[in-house]
Structure 1
Amino acid sequence: MNDNPVLLSVEDVSKEYPDGNVRALDGVSFEITTGEYAAIMGPSGSGKSTLLSILGTLDRPTSGTLTFEGAVVDEKTDLDELRSRAIGFVFQSFYLLPTLTALENIQVPMFGRGMTVAERVAKAHELIEAVGMADRSKHLPKQLSVGQRQRIAIARSLANDPRLLLADEPTGNLDTVTAAGILELFEQLHTEREMTLITVTHSEEVAHAAQRVIRMRDGRIESDQSNLAMN
């Protein structure tokens, strides 16, 4: 944690599913400050992916409060607008459009943002260069390795200059060497762009790369510790 302002917070957040038999989250509370790099860890069923969905406003809590940049996120909030302007997502399965080139995939979130074609292309070139994939700009996803696809997905997540980047098992489909490269890229984004970054993972290696590790079990926070002394 640092002395920067709080970017988002969850207060006593719980999530129950309609059948009433599953409580995925049970009274979770914590804050993330601007520029922080945190990892959320836990075994399958611990609630970490549900928590990430709530942090990214893809799901709503059953009870409790989510606050982003000092404003409560509730039924009055335009969630599409919030996500498009402030939150980037990196998914384990990439979700690249198969008929678009790498450069075109990066531009997808920019549509509807009032940018000209030239501005979109220039921004996409900047981002594909930032993730070390400029020489693959004209390739389709099927022509890229798994690690290359993840890098393009990361570049796409940065298209609208989000204040918060959320990554769900970002190295889950990658071999050890490729995963290490993705973690180096995350550290570069965090350091050079002062990106606020939250990863959800079951990997100790991914968690160790973060400044802070929030460990979950059975829908609750089991521990919340700084990694700075070890890194």
Structure 2
Amino acid sequence: MSDQAVSSPASSTPAPLSAPLLSIDDVCKDYPDGNVRALDHVTFDIHSGEYVAIMGPSGSGKSTLLSILGTLDRPTSGTVSFDGKKIDASTNLDELRSQFIGFVFQSFYLLPTLTALENIQVPMFGRGMTGAQRVDKARQLIESVGMSDRAKHLPKQLSVGQRQRIAIARSLANDPRLLLADEPTGNLDTVTADSILELFAQLHEERKMTLITVTHSEEVADAAQRILRVRDGKIESDKMTGR
């Protein structure tokens, strides 16, 4: 595997925790319409159970990288592997995402006509669960994010921070091995943002899941165990935070 994309000293990169959950090897992403290379020979591994922040200014390539990590997009060249298996043209990306990956977006994307509890159940449909099983699991999840008293509320009846908590609960509906969060505190005030970071830390600790956040915020990045800094489509540094 190429090591040319990581410019930081070897001593600053994390020691392997296990076999990599995600391997990114010499990945490039080009957008031909604008003649733009969003990712430029990027290489790194992420191990099961890591809490990683991907940080960089607007236009650095971090959102493109998140899309590729979450299999929402494919690289122009290079390889991406999930749990030791190379993702290629034969990979059913919808199935991979639905079984193993959860997403938390800055804009929440809650369905406005469904209650909080119903929104959490949406990813469970088509998974062979009965209605009672979906409701029971949704109740467990809404309790885990401290929102049981808002179960019957519609999104418009919730604060911005409450909507984000419901979105996080929904992202856990299928017990993903990997949770990806795109600017998860971008629309939140400082107090609410801090509570969301505390929730992420709690979920990471309790569920032992792999958590990746994309952010331009130093505070959000500092909450992670490891920070990948992206600039001009390259990994500028890869360091542990000491957490």
Q: TM-score range by the shorter chain?
A: over 0.9
2:106 is paired with a residue whose SS is coil
Is it true that 1:140 corresponds to 2:154 in the alignment?
Answer: yes
> Per-residue deviation at 1:191?
0.4
Report the equivalent of 1:77: 91
Does residue 1:216 correspond to 2:230, yes or no? yes
Task: Note the alpha carbon deviations across 1:59-98, whole angstroms, 9 max, x for none.
Answer: 0000000000000011100000000000000000000000
- Structure 2 portions without partners, runs of 5+: 1-13
**Matched residue, 2:194:** 180
Name the SS for the 1:186 alignment partner: helix
Report SS of the residue matched to 1:190: helix
Deviations 1:17-70 (A, max 9, x none): 122610000000100000000000000000000000000000000000000000
Q: Are residues 1:94 and 2:135 paired?
A: no
Instruction: Tell me the residue number matched to 2:55.
Output: 41
Q: 2:38 aligns with which of 15, 24, 28?
A: 24
TM-score when scaled to structure 2? 0.93
* Aligned-pair CA distance for 1:201: 0.1
Which segments of 5 or more consecutive residues in structure 1 lack a partner in the other structure?
Answer: none
Equivalent residue for 1:53, pick from 67, 87, 91 = 67
1:124-182 CA distances to partner (integer Å, 9 max, x unpaired)? 00000000000000000000000000000000000000000000000000000000000
Structure 2 match to 1:227: 241
Distance 2:161 2:56 in 1: 24
Secondary structure of 2:81's aligned partner? strand
Aligned length: 229
Q: 1:108 is matched with which residue?
A: 122
TM-score in terms of structure 1 length: 0.98
